[in-house]
Structure 1
């Protein structure tokens, strides 16, 4: 696992735009996901292969999770939320590859994911209830609390970003400390733990997004 600074390092520049190690690793993760999806879906069959069964199980799990939380057609949410789940999950585990930095250990990345979550909440709320109908949920239980609802919109988005960032950064720092103390005695068990934590953090991020969406569409007038 690469020893890294808290702040992203610039790898190269395109004009005045600096491309950091976080960005290049994210590009690698995206390319890996696209390749895996292509290889897993190019030969779909009525008699599924092992990889097709795994893929179908993942999508069925996503669909069920969304259906259990949201009172609407889950496939309105599956494409974008499923993409977020998969991208965050792979990003959380990217640091296990020597030379790569965990993209989600960069606050810029997690803030971008949190802003997508924030946007989804309002876009889906407006799409399912209309602009006026969606705004009415801010009056619950009374319009007096409107300022607090607006503050909560901002604070929960920031908290979502910081939570994922803190968990993944601390995990990478602990790994570096352990490797420095005990050398190569613990990398395999810790790598397995890192994978589990990465998957759980991706799942929690998605579920919290679902809860935020549900909070905006549960009240209709």
Structure 2
């Protein structure tokens, strides 16, 4: 049993070995790109929405509602980022129903790349919202002695995101393989359904955690309310 799609070499392209992680990542990107184009090609006010456009609008509005509950202030750019993370992880896991498909999210390299994208997005969103000086100031709050601890905290977030996503997807794949060796005729359907459920949950959790981390870096400073008012 292959524990990671990184170990499976599918073909050689221009002298470079293409493993299952890279290939199926391209597949997910192609599916998202083609589906987005087909659904939004007639996205005009004078064209009545079809069922696919309605489904897409429900997904986008649901993601936006979740972000608005967490973030303070404008969330349009955060919607683009967190929504893309959610759709990539969700589609990667939903395609498990396709025979022969290996989700790229079951590779530590993919989950690490996703976590690094969040790790880079946090300071970028923070600087965009607070300015360079305002964002750097958060590393020495409430005192300068907290600087190394705040830096470690930022990197530990990315590590925890990568390990969390990889561990959950990989554990599901290992359990499925074990059960298939015990009862190969009964468990495939059950495990496919369980895999779809856990895949959607993991996509949701990953996107929400990314939103929480970014929102903590972009949250506006509230003015002090300690001023006493005379009667």
TM-score when normalising by structure 1: 0.92
**Aligned partners of 1:124 and 1:140: how far apart in 2?**
18
Segment of structure 1 superposing worse, 125-134 or 74-83: 74-83
Whether the 8 Å CA contact 1:13–1:19 is kept in 2: the answer is yes
Aligned counterpart, 1:5: 3
**Aligned partners of 2:158 and 2:91: how far apart in 1?**
22
Aligned counterpart, 1:195: 196
- Superposed, which structure 2 residues align to 1:1-221 within 5 Å? 3-6=1-4, 7-15=6-14, 17-44=16-43, 46=45, 47-218=48-219, 220=221
Q: Deviation at 1:15?
A: 5.0
Q: Deviation at 1:94?
A: 3.0
**Aligned partners of 1:165 and 1:16: how far apart in 2?**
29
Q: Deviation at 1:39?
A: 2.2
| SS at 2:12 equivalent | strand
Q: Deviation at 1:80?
A: 2.1
Larger radius of gyration: 2
Question: Between Structure 1 and Structure 2, how many residues are aligned?
Answer: 219
Q: Deviation at 1:12?
A: 2.9
| SS at 2:43 equivalent | coil
TM-score when normalising by structure 2: 0.88
Q: Deviation at 1:181?
A: 0.6
**Aligned partners of 1:180 and 1:93: how far apart in 2?**
23
Q: Deviation at 1:27?
A: 0.8
**Aligned partners of 1:196 and 1:44: how far apart in 2?**
30
**Aligned partners of 2:80 and 2:176: how far apart in 1?**
33
Deviations 1:51-84 (A, max 9, x none): 1111111111111111111112111211222111
CA RMSD of aligned residues (A): 1.8
Unpaired runs of 5+ residues, structure 2, are 223-231
Unpaired runs of 5+ residues, structure 1, are none
| SS at 2:72 equivalent | coil
**Aligned partners of 1:36 and 1:214: how far apart in 2?**
29
**Aligned partners of 1:60 and 1:95: how far apart in 2?**
25
| SS at 1:12 equivalent | strand
Deviations 1:9-45 (A, max 9, x none): 2223345643211110111111111222222222336
| SS at 1:18 equivalent | strand
